[in-house]
Amino acid sequence: MRTLITNGLVVTAAGSYPADVLVDGETIALLGSDLPGAGITADETIDATGKYVVPGGIDVHTHMELPFGGTVAKDTFQTGSKAAAHGGTTTILDFAAQTKGRSLREGLDAWRAKAEGHTAIDYGFHMMMTDVNDATLAEMDRLIAEGVPEFKLFTAYPGVNFSPDDHIFRAMQRTRENGGLVMMHAENGLVIDVIAADLVAAGITGPIGHGLARYAILEGEATNRVIRLAEAAGVPVYIVHLTSRDALEAVTAARGRGAMAFAETCPQYLFLSLDDLENGFEGAKYVCSPPLRPKDHQVDLWRGLRTDTLQLVATDHCPFDFHGQKELGRDDFRKIPNGLPAVEDRVDLLHDGGVVKGRITRERWVEIMSTAPARMFGMYPKKGAIAIGSDADILVYDPNRRRTISAATHHMDVDYSIFEGFEVQGTSDVVMSRGTVLVRDGAWVGPANHGRFLRRDVTDFARIS
């Protein structure tokens, strides 16, 4: 099957230029001006006049079917990946989880079984590592050989995922030998639990307690600490879901002294705030960790994205229904499952809030939602590029079309939207994955099990600025 995309503006991280794009099979075969005039034919032609032609979105932080707090994140690989595609994301990297006391292998096998044959877009895995011991350290090497090169550890969630500093350091030392990457959830979970208990004892049991207990300074402290541990081990480190000025300052300082510290933020921290946790138990819809921050942190995060202190935006998609799941914490905010639905809205929110609102260029938009994720996670230039030989993961993107985000129309399997009523400018007319159109004008037209496992290589972070 050959598809010709004509008359569009190709937007890449490096620049924008008018070009026709020929897709042959699963990859991009040719780029040039007036390809039909040059005699190039195809089975289908898509007229992209007035549209952008951009690489499909890559979301490197999702949690499909993740068990958390006595329940399970609602989106399956099937529902979540279709929702992602509807929103212009053609690749996800999800977190396989180690069960405490069991092997990494078992965790990865379980996640591969959940995803295989049930995922609409290409997918890969990072590994959430709970136990650090001789056996799991040796397993890290084997997982890397199988295309799973990143390991997420936590300074949060004591008793569940929490790792003490010496364990984090040992995992980092191992990545110095095997070339893997440690990703860190950086909040001081031990201190947060003390403050949370104090709040509950003082009668603050509603969702706002979640935001009040998890001080930004405790994210800043943990971020600085894990970066220092990585410097001591002589390895790069990647901070997931960075939310606050305090944490950003730690990353800025580290990068200033030449440390290989990298970080992502998420749409919820760019567009929502602590105020959203205030509305009685409705605030439970916005409970995630680290929590939403006071609104004035947003300007710092946008600055971080402009200056490349933050390299990319991922979603941390981890949806729980309000009814029946978030309600588990009706009497105590500590029991509200942590996580938000966002995988469907990232690309359009960043276009509207970033490009349309003048905070970033359209090239930077492509970079933070696709190209940088591909570069940092071993997928470039197969993914994240409009280039000859790259996978034809392509969005024909209308930068002027408007839509209103709503749970009534979204495709995520969750009973509310954190962005309900947001009107965004810009959305995908066509979403193509490896040459197959999955979504056209908002309707699903592709196979539901199109996705393939991505076996990824380690990244040479010395090459990433």
Q: Which residues bind Zn ion (CB under 5 A)?
A: 185, 316
Q: What is the number of the residue whose Cβ is closest to ligand URP? A: 338
Q: Report d(CA 64, CA 249) in Å as an integer.
A: 31
* Binding-site partner at residue 288 among Zn ion, ligand URP, none, CB < 5 to 8 Å by type: ligand URP
* Binding-site partner at residue 222 among Zn ion, ligand URP, none, CB < 5 to 8 Å by type: none
Q: What DSSP string describes 181-221?
A: EEEEE-S-HHHHHHHHHHHHHTT--STHHHHHHS-HHHHHH
**Which string of x and - marks every residue 172-211 that binds ligand URP (by CB under 6 A)?**
-------------x--------------------------
Does 96 interact with ligand URP (rule: CB under 6 A)? no
Between 59 and 393, name the residue whose CB sits nearer to Zn ion.
Answer: 59
Q: CB pairs under 8 A, 24+ apart, for 45-49?
A: 45/3, 45/4, 45/5, 45/6, 46/3, 46/4, 46/5, 46/6, 46/396, 46/430, 47/6, 47/7, 48/5, 48/6, 48/7, 48/8, 48/9, 48/396, 49/6, 49/7, 49/8
Does 346 interact with ligand URP (rule: CB under 6 A)? no
**Which string of x and - marks every residue 134-173 that binds ligand URP (by CB under 6 A)?**
----------------------------------------
* Binding-site partner at residue 346 among ligand URP, Zn ion, none, CB < 5 to 8 Å by type: none
Q: Report d(CA 232, CA 218) in Å as an integer.
A: 21
Least distance between ligand URP and beta carbon 63 (Å) = 5
Does 288 interact with ligand URP (rule: CB under 6 A)? yes
Decide: helix, strand or coil at residue 178: helix
Least distance between Zn ion and beta carbon 266 (Å) = 9
Which segments within 292-416 are labelled E, that is strand? 312-313, 394-404
Q: What is the footprint of ligand URP within residues 371-410 (CB under 6 A)?
A: none
Q: Report d(CA 277, CA 284) in Å as an integer.
A: 7
Least distance between ligand URP and beta carbon 171 (Å) = 17
Report strand pairing: 44-47 vs 2-11: parallel
Q: Report d(CA 78, CA 450) in Å as an integer.
A: 10
Peptide bond into 294 cis (omega under 30): no
Indicate which single residue of 63, 86, 118, 362 sits in contact with ligand URP (rule: CB under 6 A): 63
From the list 75, 9, 1, 3, the residue with the least C-alpha distance to 396 is 9
Q: Report d(CA 317, CA 251) in Å as an integer.
A: 23
Does 75 interact with ligand URP (rule: CB under 6 A)? no
Between 51 and 185, name the residue whose CB sits nearer to Zn ion.
Answer: 185
* Binding-site partner at residue 255 among Zn ion, ligand URP, none, CB < 5 to 8 Å by type: none
Between 59 and 367, name the residue whose CB sits nearer to Zn ion.
Answer: 59
Which segments within 245-322 are labelled E, that is strand? 261-265, 312-313
* Binding-site partner at residue 382 among Zn ion, ligand URP, none, CB < 5 to 8 Å by type: none
* Binding-site partner at residue 266 among Zn ion, ligand URP, none, CB < 5 to 8 Å by type: none
Least distance between Zn ion and beta carbon 65 (Å) = 13
**Which string of x and - marks every residue 321-340 that binds ligand URP (by CB under 6 A)?**
-----------------xx-
Give me the sign of the Cα torsion angle 347, 349, 350, 354: positive
* Binding-site partner at residue 339 among ligand URP, Zn ion, none, CB < 5 to 8 Å by type: ligand URP
Which residues of this protein are in contact with ligand URP, per CB under 6 A? 63, 185, 241, 288-289, 316, 318, 338-339
